[in-house]
Amino acid sequence: MEDSGVGIYKILLIAYPKNRILYVGQSKYLRERLATHKKLLRIERHHNPHLQNIYNRHGNSGIRYEIICECRVSELNTLEQFYIDELNPECNIVRDVTDFTKRFEFKDEPAMLDIELPGLELDWKPKLWHRWVYGAGRH
């Protein structure tokens, strides 16, 4: 893959019988971004007050950080929007990725591309939970 470490991630609350998806995000530097989330939550300085409150109640042992997929930089906005729409994370304050990127005016981010999502012909492999969410075993 040309853009190693670029992709979409999620933060889950695992303190319940069924995992709750709290947050979906994107980064050009996945491991560093997840480390930043962990640090800000630990020192109680996270920008998302709802996520911070959940972390304060359940601690680090109740929170799991997972990479959903790796992709190209040009696919970040499209894939993040896809996963926000599909997974409906409860702590994402901004629900429309284009609003977020317009507001902060990321000059180095490419415009959203028309990527065919139904076939998901991208350079990443589905994770095990995709089968539960999208295929057999879905309730």
Compute the CA torsion angle 27, 80, 84, 82 (nearest 10 deg). -160
pLDDT digits (tens, 9 = 90+) for 71-124: 999 999 999 999 999 999 999 988 898 875 554 444 444 443 444 444 444 444
The residue written with tokens 């005016």 in the block is 105
Nearest in space to 1 (alpha carbons), one of 137, 99, 125: 125
Write down the pLDDT at residue 101.
Answer: 52
pLDDT digits (tens, 9 = 90+) for 33-76: 999 999 999 999 999 999 999 999 998 888 999 999 999 999 99
User: Are the CB atoms for 80 and 25 separated by under 8 Å?
Assistant: yes
CATH architecture group of domain 7-134: 3-Layer(aba) Sandwich (3.40)
Write down the pLDDT at residue 117.
Answer: 46
Q: Please give the model's pTM, rounded to 2 decimal places.
A: 0.69
Residue 8 has pLDDT above 80, yes or no: yes
